[in-house]
């Protein structure tokens, strides 16, 4: 698996427009990455979706080619995603990873006539007190990413091998070369977020995915959210941790494809 930077398109000429990578044919599917990443974090998943959807992997504000443009709160980030979605034709499917999962759920609740199904990967829901303290301490200490090693160890372990090592190297480059203010702003938002509060308003198919080795976004969290969402379902990978869109590309791609297809969505190939 390679994580080569792809050519970008911009949603519009406005200063707050999101940059994105577009592939495939069919109805639109928007993918949102997590803090410190970029659209390419979905590169291993997209090939399993592009036969059914036109996939738009967006750069979150302050990441990749998207300007931060003053985003400070979750609502600010969500508003930028909502503006992007609004410009797409027809019903839209959406999926997000980590902070991107929080944004995907927020947008799905805010745009019930536009979003047809949502998938939340490695989403946070009611952190433990100790987890809250840890993530908030990291956010308070964060000035810039001069050494991404501690983050990479949390994501991939101390000695990743094979494809996991390639993913860790790519993430290290993204963290070192990304917008430091964009990373810090997004991390502070992520650290203060404790999960979606409007799951009962999610009147569409909703998939909550995580890995059994994710200590911060646990299978119990996914099952709790799925139990509250009227059309929710949960899925836990037996071998994945927090970075499953990059470490378990095929499993995630198949799970997303099966989910959207079971909801009667996507282009039939």
- Per-residue pLDDT of 137-158, as tens digits, reads 887 776 556 688 999 999 999 9
Structure-token match 């974090």, residue found? 41
Residue 232's CB is within 10 A of a number of other CB atoms, namely 21
pLDDT score recorded for residue 94: 98
Structure-token pair, residue 163? 């494809």
Q: Any residues with CB less than 8 A from the CB of 156 and at least 6 apart, and which?
A: 164, 165, 167, 168, 171, 243, 247
Alpha-carbon distance of 165 to 171, in angstroms, equals 10
Chain segment 231-259, per-residue pLDDT in tens: 999 999 999 999 999 999 999 999 999 99
Supply the pTM of this predicted model: 0.95
Residue range 102-124: mean pLDDT, rounded:
97
Look at the domain 9-262 and name its fold: Rossmann fold (3.40.50)
Q: Any residues with CB less than 8 A from the CB of 84 and at least 6 apart, and which?
A: 11, 17, 18, 20, 30, 56, 58
155: left (phi over 0), alpha (psi -120 to 50) or beta: alpha
pLDDT score recorded for residue 145: 62
Residue 250's CB is within 10 A of a number of other CB atoms, namely 12
pLDDT score recorded for residue 13: 43
Contact, 216 vs 131, CB < 8 A?
Answer: yes
Long-range contacts of 248-254 (CB under 8 A, 24+ apart): 248/211, 249/1, 249/43, 249/44, 249/45, 249/48, 250/44, 250/48, 252/45, 252/121, 252/209, 253/44, 253/45, 253/46, 253/47, 253/48, 253/49, 254/48
pLDDT band at 12 (very low <50, low <70, confident <90, very high): low
Q: Which uninterrupted H or E stretch holds 30?
A: strand 28-32
Contact, 206 vs 117, CB < 8 A?
Answer: yes
Structure-token match 């099966």, residue found? 258
Maximum pairwise Cα distance, the chain? 49
Query: CA 8 → CA 19, 56, 143, 261, 267, distances in Å?
Result: 6, 11, 28, 28, 24
pLDDT band at 1 (very low <50, low <70, confident <90, very high): low
Structure-token match 């508003």, residue found? 79
pLDDT score recorded for residue 268: 63
Task: Write down the domain spans for the chain.
Answer: 9-262
Alpha-carbon distance of 79 to 204, in angstroms, equals 20
Confidence check: pLDDT of 115 > 70: yes
């Amino acid at each position: 698996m390679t994580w080569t930077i792809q050519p970008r398109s911009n949603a519009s000429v406005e200063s707050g427009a999101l940059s994105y990578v577009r592939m495939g044919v069919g109805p639109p599917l928007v993918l949102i990455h997590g803090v410190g990443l970029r659209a390419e974090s979905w590169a291993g998943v997209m090939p399993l979706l592009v036969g059914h959807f036109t996939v738009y992997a967006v750069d979150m504000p302050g990441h990749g080619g998207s300007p931060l443009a003053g985003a400070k709160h979750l609502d600010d980030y969500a508003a930028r995603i909502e503006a992007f979605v609004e410009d797409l034709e027809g019903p839209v499917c959406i999926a997000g990873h980590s902070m991107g999962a929080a944004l995907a759920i927020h947008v799905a609740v805010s745009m019930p006539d536009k979003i047809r199904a949502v998938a939340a990967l490695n989403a946070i829901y009611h952190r433990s007190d100790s987890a809250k303290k840890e993530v908030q301490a990291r956010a308070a200490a964060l000035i810039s990413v001069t050494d991404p090693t501690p983050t990479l160890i949390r994501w991939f372990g101390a000695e990743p091998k094979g494809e996991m090592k390639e993913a860790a190297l790519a993430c290290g480059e993204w963290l070192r070369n990304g917008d430091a203010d964009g990373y810090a702003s997004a991390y502070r938002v992520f650290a203060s977020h404790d999960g979606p509060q409007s799951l009962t308003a999610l009147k569409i198919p909703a998939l909550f995915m995580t890995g059994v080795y994710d200590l911060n976004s646990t299978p119990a969290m996914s099952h709790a959210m799925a139990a509250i969402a009227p059309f929710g379902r949960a899925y836990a990978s037996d071998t994945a941790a927090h970075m499953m869109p990059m470490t378990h590309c095929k499993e995630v791609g198949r799970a997303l494809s099966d989910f959207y297809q079971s909801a009667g969505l996507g282009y039939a190939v």
